[in-house]
């Protein structure tokens, strides 16, 4: 048992390191990328992976590795910001519903139920198509569609925490509801929120890539991993590298975020 915990710890450290490396590469993309974002190499259009272009080039002769590094900025930004936002919304709604109870609780949970009943991806696809979004609006949409699960879990935890003696003591000493919630109840859901955020990063990146893949997400010429796949799908049989590499980056990033979230959740359970 101890062996597996150590083993999974090594795996999660590796996942964290990989995610950190990707983040750094994305941040410093202009410095590390071998070519300019829109630099055209007309002599090597639709080029297969080679020593000059590790991941090959697209139909305009743009370097795929460079595009992936710059696309990482958009994809990771959407994943990270939407994760933080959706969890913030989820914790707020869950905490208020769980603490206030009564009709507030009913209202919040019925809205959550309703939103969970509509299949998420088609809902987002329609919203994105209707609003033809910019990157910030995409982030808002992905966050607005992702708070329900967090809210449910946080609500349940808050309901159990608020019956504990230290909460009653704080209230007896005259602390306001806001202060009790903020200082005494919310710290108890920190682990849950951290796990939810980590998992939401992966989900946000998957949703962005799916939306962009269907042409309703990030719009060219801005590169994101998803819209690189959108552009690649028609030429998949002749220039497979254009589709394979961006997908590998999506897969690896989501995998790292899921491994980390999983390890965190496991650690939380072991402490209890």
Partner 1 sequence: MLRFFTRRAAQAVPLLLVVSLLVFVLIHAAPGGPLALYLDNPNVRPQDIERLRRAMGLDRSLAAQYVAWLGAFVRGDWGYSYADGRPVLDRLLERVPATLELVGTSTVAALIIALVVGVLAAARRGFDRVATGVAIAGISLPVFWFGLVLQLAFANALGWLPSSGRSSFGGGDVGDMLAHLVLPAAVLAVAHAAGWSRYLRGSMREALALPFTRTARAGGVSERRIVLRHALRNALLPFVTVVLLDASIMASGAVVTESVFAWPGVGSLFTEALAKRDYTVLMAFLMCASVAVVILNLVADVAVYALDPRTREAA
Q: Cα angle vertex 218, ends 213, 224, to 5°?
A: 75
Q: How far is the CB of 106 from partner 1 (least distance, A)?
A: 10
Count of C-beta atoms within a 10 Å radius of residue 108? 21
Residue 267 and residue 261: Cα distance in Å, rounded? 10
Residue 57 and residue 251: Cα distance in Å, rounded? 21
Q: How far is the CB of 241 from partner 1 (least distance, A)?
A: 11
* 259 is an interface residue for partner 1 by CB under 8 A: yes
The conformational region for residue 56 under phi > 0 = left, psi -120 to 50 = alpha, else beta, is: left
Site pattern 6..25 for partner 1 (x: CB under 8 A): -x------------------
Q: How far is the CB of 238 from partner 1 (least distance, A)?
A: 9
* 201 is an interface residue for partner 1 by CB under 8 A: no
Based on CB atoms, which residue is closest to partner 1, 65 or 181? 65
Are 188 and 235 a contacting pair, CB within 8 Å?
Answer: no
Number of residues that bind partner 1 (CB under 8 A): 45
Q: How far is the CB of 152 from partner 1 (least distance, A)?
A: 12
Distance, CA of 249 to chain centre? 14
Count of C-beta atoms within a 10 Å radius of residue 219? 16
Residues of span 103-162 touching partner 1 by CB under 8 A: 110-111, 113-123, 125-127, 129-131
Based on CB atoms, which residue is closest to partner 1, 130 or 173? 130
* 258 is an interface residue for partner 1 by CB under 8 A: yes
Are 95 and 154 a contacting pair, CB within 8 Å?
Answer: yes
* 70 is an interface residue for partner 1 by CB under 8 A: no
State the DSSP H helix or E strand holding residue 144, giving kind and residue range, or none if neither: helix 135-144
Residue 120 and residue 207: Cα distance in Å, rounded? 9
* 54 is an interface residue for partner 1 by CB under 8 A: no
Based on CB atoms, which residue is closest to partner 1, 26 or 145? 145
Are 226 and 243 a contacting pair, CB within 8 Å?
Answer: no
Look at residues 114, 109, 108, 75 and name the one whose alpha carbon lies nearest to residue 204. Answer: 75
Q: How far is the CB of 53 from partner 1 (least distance, A)?
A: 20
Based on CB atoms, which residue is closest to partner 1, 1 or 43? 1
Based on CB atoms, which residue is closest to partner 1, 122 or 221? 122
Q: Is 183 exposed, middle or buried (0-12, 13-18, 19+ CB in 10 A)?
A: exposed
Q: How far is the CB of 166 from partner 1 (least distance, A)?
A: 27
Q: Is the dihedral of CA 52, 55, 59, 60 positive or negative?
A: negative
Span of 49-57, 70-78, 83-91, 214-222 interacting with partner 1 by CB under 8 A = 214-222
Based on CB atoms, which residue is closest to partner 1, 186 or 229? 229
State the residues that interact with partner 1 by CB under 8 A: 4, 7, 110-111, 113-123, 125-127, 129-131, 202, 206, 209-210, 213-216, 229, 233, 236-237, 240, 243-244, 247, 250-251, 254-255, 257-259, 262
């Amino acid at each position: 048992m101890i062996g597996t915990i150590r083993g999974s710890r090594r795996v999660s450290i590796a996942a964290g390191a990989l995610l950190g490396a990707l983040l750094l590469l994305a941040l410093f993309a202009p410095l590390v990328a071998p070519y300019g974002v829109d630099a055209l190499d007309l002599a090597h259009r639709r080029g297969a992976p080679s020593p000059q272009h590790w991941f090959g080039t697209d139909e305009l002769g743009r370097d795929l590795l460079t595009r992936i590094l710059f696309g990482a900025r958009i994809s990771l930004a959407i994943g990270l910001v939407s994760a933080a936002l959706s969890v913030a919304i989820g914790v707020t709604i869950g905490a208020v519903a769980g603490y206030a109870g009564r009709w507030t609780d009913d209202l919040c949970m019925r809205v959550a139920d309703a939103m969970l009943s509509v299949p998420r991806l088609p809902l987002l696809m329609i919203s994105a198509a209707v609003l033809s979004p910019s990157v910030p609006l995409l982030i808002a949409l992905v966050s607005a569609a992702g708070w329900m699960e967090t809210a449910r879990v946080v609500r349940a935890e808050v309901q159990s925490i608020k019956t504990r003696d230290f909460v009653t003591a704080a209230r007896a000493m005259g602390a306001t509801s806001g202060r009790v919630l903020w200082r005494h109840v919310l710290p108890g859901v920190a682990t849950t929120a951290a796990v939810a955020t980590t998992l939401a990063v992966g989900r946000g990146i998957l949703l962005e890539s799916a939306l962009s893949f269907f042409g309703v997400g990030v719009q060219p010429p801005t590169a994101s991993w998803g819209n690189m796949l959108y552009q690649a799908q028609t030429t998949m049989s002749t220039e497979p590298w254009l589709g394979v590499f961006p997908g590998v980056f999506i897969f690896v990033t989501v995998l790292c975020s899921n491994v980390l979230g999983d390890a965190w959740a496991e650690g939380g359970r072991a402490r209890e």
